[in-house]
Amino acid sequence: MTFILKLKPGREKSLLNRHPWVFSGAVQQLDGEPQAGDTVLVRSADGRFLGNAAYSPHSQIRARVWSVVEGEPIDANFFRRRLQTALALRRDLLPASLNGQRLVHGESDGLPGLVVDRYDQVLVVQVLSIGVERWREVIVDALVELTGIPNVYERSDADVRGLEGLPERCGLLRGNLPADTMIDEYGVRYRVDIAGGQKTGFYLDQRVNRRRIGELAAGKKVLNCFCYTGGFSLAALRGGALSVESVDSSAEALATAQANLVLNNLDPAQASWVEADVFKYLRLLRDKGQSYDLIILDPPKFAPTAQHVEKAARAYKDINLLGLKLLKPGGLLATFTCSGGMDASLFQKIIAGAAVDAGLDAKVIERFTPDVDHPVALSFPEGDYLKGLLVKRGL
């Protein structure tokens, strides 16, 4: 039986622009009684076909569009084709030697609510929507078949699942979880804690930016704030940094970071690790009169959605003001936001405000984004979450 979800007059616009979400307020009428995750046919008030979508009864996002092709069945073959397209993008554009890659990036790969990261011989799956939940077994089977990777671990422990009426869930879905999983990023090796690490275990979205920091770090005194398992720290040391001081509030992350240092045969004498709140620690460094050639600020997302932007703006300004003040003349600040609710121009304005308050002349000399394995569908600007600026302090 076909379930039909009819929109209110005038509410078809975003779908015609291929944005994949139908908000509850746009719904006029629902024909039939679809279960959570069932496919519904979305029509405009005047009966136009808009898409086939996954029905989500508990969420503000009442349906997520799978396909805008009329008559395209949503079945195992559909998911296989979408996964093949996503895998082909990475295969064509990333070096095969990169064994840590995001294979599926949700809406931007045409699979709303699905994230798949590959860490060497393990696929880590995050199921964030009820539509993906409904097709989980089919998707996991196709992933194993298409990648040839037998081990699949689920890390569906993200808050957003609650909005979909789904409980958190983690555990092995296929194969085994190897005792140790290691990835190699352009010659730097990182151990990934798949079961216990943050998100799916690692922040793959910063891969190219870690490499760039490695290129910039030679001979420099570096401060890496929000270092997690040592991503930018190790890249900087491998790139010839004189010293790297790394700060994070997570003791587990810092322990892994130190193990990663050993794994890469880097000199522990050049690295120091500090368990602290960055907001407080930066003030301490300022009061001690410290200064650095290169500072990295890669905080967690302060503004998950647009509603949090104002408070987040204050937090970004605070750490960036302190960071700029800790730069030596001519020094570099690599500053990031991974907040979906913060757009690039607002972020740049915040950094500009911080420079004015610091009384410094500074310029943007580069911009950072993730690599091709984190695409942004043009119809889904929300996918453009990670932005960064490389700022140079005047002399």
Closest CA to 203 of 300, 113, 304: 300
Q: Which of the residues 175 through 204 are near ligand SAH (CB under 6 A)?
A: 198, 203
Contact 303, 340 (CB under 8 A): yes
CA-to-CA distance for 228 and 298, rounded, in angstroms?
9
Q: Which of the residues 330 through 349 are near ligand SAH (CB under 6 A)?
A: none
Can residue 226 be called a binding residue for ligand SAH (CB under 6 A)? yes
Active site residue 170: no
Report in angstroms how near the CB of residue 301 gets to ligand SAH at its nearest. 9
Beta strand pairing call for 151-156 and 122-127: parallel
Q: State the catalytic residue, choosing from 170, 225, 227, 338.
A: 338
Report in angstroms how near the CB of residue 377 gets to ligand SAH at its nearest. 24
Q: Cβ closer to ligand SAH: 52 or 209?
A: 209
Contact 231, 203 (CB under 8 A): yes
Tokens linked to 357: 């308050």
Which of the ranges 6-14, 84-92, 246-254, 345-353 carries the binding residues for ligand SAH, by CB under 6 A? 246-254
Contact 128, 106 (CB under 8 A): yes
Contact 144, 151 (CB under 8 A): no
Can residue 231 be called a binding residue for ligand SAH (CB under 6 A)? yes
Report in angstroms how near the CB of residue 111 gets to ligand SAH at its nearest. 24
Q: Cβ closer to ligand SAH: 107 or 248?
A: 248
Q: Which of the residues 263 through 282 are near ligand SAH (CB under 6 A)?
A: 277-279
Could you give phi then psi for residue 119, rounded to 5 degrees?
Answer: -120, 100
Which of the ranges 168-176, 242-250, 323-331, 349-357 carries the binding residues for ligand SAH, by CB under 6 A? 242-250
Q: Cβ closer to ligand SAH: 79 or 368?
A: 368
Report in angstroms how near the CB of residue 64 gets to ligand SAH at its nearest. 27
Can residue 298 be called a binding residue for ligand SAH (CB under 6 A)? yes
Beta strand pairing call for 100-105 and 39-43: unpaired
Can residue 248 be called a binding residue for ligand SAH (CB under 6 A)? yes
Which of the ranges 21-29, 88-96, 249-257, 339-347 carries the binding residues for ligand SAH, by CB under 6 A? 249-257
Report in angstroms how near the CB of residue 331 gets to ligand SAH at its nearest. 19
Query: How many residues sit close enough to ligand SAH to count as binding (CB under 6 A)?
Result: 20
Report in angstroms how near the CB of residue 255 gets to ligand SAH at its nearest. 12
- Residue of 253, 295, 324, 342 that binds ligand SAH (CB under 6 A): 253
DSSP three-state, residue 340 = coil
Q: Give start and end residues of each alpha helix (H) in the chain.
A: 13-16, 76-93, 130-134, 136-147, 160-163, 207-216, 231-238, 251-263, 278-287, 309-325, 344-358
Say how many CA atoms lie within 13 Å of 323 toward its Cβ. 33
Residues ≥6 apart with Cβ < 8 Å to 294: 213, 216, 217, 220, 221, 222, 223, 236, 241, 331, 332, 333, 334
Q: Cβ closer to ligand SAH: 135 or 226?
A: 226
- Residue of 21, 228, 292, 302 that binds ligand SAH (CB under 6 A): 228
| Strand order across the 21-23 sheet | 21-23, 61-67, 49-55, 39-43, 3-7, 27-31
Report in angstroms how near the CB of residue 78 gets to ligand SAH at its nearest. 34
The one-letter code for the residue type at 162 is G
**Which residue has its beta carbon closest to ligand SAH?**
231
Residues ≥6 apart with Cβ < 8 Å to 111: 79, 82, 83, 86, 104, 132, 139
Residues that bind ligand SAH (CB under 6 A): 198, 203, 206, 210, 226, 228-229, 231-232, 247-250, 253, 277-279, 298-300
Which are the catalytic amino acids? 338
